[in-house]
Amino acid sequence: MFKRLFLLLLVPAWLAQAQVPTLPLPEDKGQPVGQVVSHVVQDGDNLAGLARYYGVSPILIMAANPGKDLFLLKDGDKVTIPNQLLLPKAATKGIVINLAELRLYYYPENGEQVHVFPIGIGRVGRETPEMSTQISQMRKDPTWTPTANTRKEYEAKGIPLPAVVPAGPDNPLGEYAMRLAYGSGEYLIHGTNDPLDVGLRASAGCIRMYPEHVEWLFAQVDKGTPVQIVNQALKVSTDQYGQTFMEVHEPLTPSGEAGAPLDLTPVVSLFEQGIDQRQVDEVIKQQQGMPKMIGQLYN
């Protein structure tokens, strides 16, 4: 649905290229990373363009702006860009992908910053699995060998596919692809020839990135780079002062659909340490995908 709506919108020239989002890591890893941005709409702005420019999934921008019609932006409107976040519970090394928030994290070896990118993930029935693996192959200008099922899907739309799609503008892998060692190697982190799919649940299981983002990432990593894929709709952290933050996204079912029950395990123990359950319940109800302070733990 989102993609069809985006296709009706033109992207202003100043929003045509995504930034490479770089966030400094605080010394206290329990604190939120980054800042919430308030964007003042200019003539011609639209949701697809803002998502690409700021490097945030359109789904997350919509969640951060409840009640606003982001498909009919007007000059002077203010749009909240959720560029503040809690780090997923995973090793801060190499690539970490959190399916629930449609984000890829890249931790360079210097340990001083993290680069955070919007991604497209598997659609319902072709979900991207959780895994702990590594990059097994780096491919510039990759060819694409569609599966029999994929060819049938395209043929049903009146689009016949060859046995092997050569590199070029018609290749859905874009110009760069990184194969993962998981399974039989069927999962890739790659670019796309259709940037409107980035930030949505629309792929056949692979991880899609904007062309400029995947080009940058391709130059940073290599074969053997660790990759962790997690599905954490609820993230919690506590800083050195006991301040506790929670970030909630709409959870996905194992088959990739939205609306699954939220796993409350990370917060259950907090109630015994002084966190007000009512504040927790309110953040869960809102599911705005931004860190909220829910209280301070007893010292």
DSSP letters, 117-160, are EE-BEE-TTSPPPPEEEEEEEEEES--B---HHHHHHHHHTT--
Q: How far apart are CA 227 and CA 136, in angstroms?
A: 10
The domain spans of the chain are 2-24+33-230, 234-296
* Element (DSSP H or E) covering residue 281: helix 277-286
Q: What is the DSSP letter of 218?
A: H
Write the single-letter amino acid at 258: A
Distance CA 88, CA 76 (A): 34
Active-site hit among 39, 115, 190, 213: 190
Q: Is 115 among the residues known to form the active site?
A: no
Q: Which residues contact 257 (CB under 8 A, 6 or more apart)?
A: 124
- Residue 213 annotated in active site: no
pLDDT at 241: 92
pLDDT number for residue 17: 57
Low-confidence ranges of the chain (pLDDT < 50): 1-15
Catalytic residue among 39, 115, 206, 249: 206
What burial letters (b/e) apply to 50-69, b meaning 16+ CB within 10 Å? bbbbbbbbbbbbbbbbeeee
pLDDT digits (tens, 9 = 90+) for 80-136: 999 999 999 999 999 999 999 999 999 999 888 999 999 999 887 788 999 999 999
Would you tell me how many other CB atoms lie within 10 Å of the CB of residue 213?
26
Tokens 């130059």 belong to which residue? Answer: 219
Name residue, tokens 């080009």: 215
CB 292 within 8 A of CB 245: yes
pLDDT at position 255, please? 57
Superfamily assignment of 2-24+33-230 in CATH? L,D-transpeptidase catalytic domain-like (2.40.440.10)
Per-residue pLDDT, 182: 96
The gap between the terminal CA atoms of the chain, to the nearest Å, is: 48
Q: What is the pTM of this model?
A: 0.90
pLDDT at 152: 85
256 vs 5: CA distance, rounded Å: 22
Full DSSP string of 61-106: HHHHSTT--TTS--TT-EEEE--EEPPPSS-SSEEEEEGGGTEEEE
The pLDDT assigned to 146 comes to: 83
List, in sequence order, every beta strand (DSSP E) within 165-275.
176-180, 188-190, 201-203, 207-208, 226-230, 234-238, 243-248
29-58: pLDDT as tens digits: 899 999 999 999 998 899 999 999 999 999
Residue 283 is predicted with a pLDDT of: 94
CA distance 1 to 73: 18
